[in-house]
Amino acid sequence: MTEQDAGAILSAPLIIEYPFKRTTGPVIGAFLTGLREQVLVGSKAADGRVIVPPAEFDPVSGEDLTELVEVGPAGEITTWAWVTHPHEKHPLDQPFAWALIKPDGADTPMLGAVAADGIDALATGARVTPVWAEEREGHINDLTHWVLEAEGGAA
């Protein structure tokens, strides 16, 4: 090795790619199919808890979860954070809240955007209903956002 080679940086091109596709499987596939049909589903655990979005395994016991049950469609805000200035990749182009929403019949909440007339309209415990995309394809974006029942959402 020469003195000139000692300080040289060795480099090689590197391409990171994932040349495969993963299927959604029976649990997540059922959840996405439900969204396409305007239905929310969760996994039912052996102890009766309902986990939404559904999971393939019980986070407490590690057991397989195979029973799916319908929940909602309405739910309750368990906590929220107001977004005053939405970014271009946010789901809504006006101020909104990110909220954890526990659908009726579920024991766990799911994350969603909530459209509201202002920060003062929101509260933990507020009731919300989903707003669905006009054209649905079995994608998480089929449920576009949630609205407060008090602001015109159906019960």
Rounded Cα–Cα distance for residues 136 and 35 (Å): 8
Which tokens in the block code for residue 109?
């909440």
Residue 5 lies inside a defined structural domain of this protein: no
Residue 18 lies inside a defined structural domain of this protein: no
pLDDT at 153: 57
Domain extent, residue 36, equals 25-151
pLDDT at 155: 44
pLDDT at 105: 98
pLDDT at 149: 93
pLDDT at 1: 54
pLDDT at residue 128 is higher than 60: yes
Give how many domains the chain has, as a whole number. 1
pLDDT at residue 120 is higher than 50: yes
Residue 8 lies inside a defined structural domain of this protein: no
Residue 6 lies inside a defined structural domain of this protein: no
pLDDT at 22: 80
User: Which phi and psi angles does 144 have, rounded to 5°?
Assistant: -75, -40
First to last CA, the chain: 77
Residue 49 lies inside a defined structural domain of this protein: yes
pLDDT at residue 40 is higher than 80: yes
- Number of C-beta neighbours around residue 146 at 10 A: 27
Q: Would you report the helix, strand and coil content of the chain in percent, each value rounded to 5? A: 15, 30, 50
Please classify residue 127 by burial: count the beta carbons closer than 10 Å to its beta carbon, then call 0-12 exposed, 13-18 middle and 19+ buried. Answer: middle
Residue 14 lies inside a defined structural domain of this protein: no
pLDDT at residue 2 is higher than 70: no
Which tokens in the block code for residue 118?
């202002």
User: Which phi and psi angles does 63 have, rounded to 5°?
Assistant: -70, 150
Of residues 107 and 10, more confidently modeled: 107
Residue 84 lies inside a defined structural domain of this protein: yes
pLDDT at residue 139 is higher than 90: yes
pLDDT at 20: 80
pLDDT tens digits along 83-95: 999 999 999 999 9
Task: Assign 33 a pLDDT band (cuts: 50, 70, 90).
Answer: very high
Residue 1 lies inside a defined structural domain of this protein: no
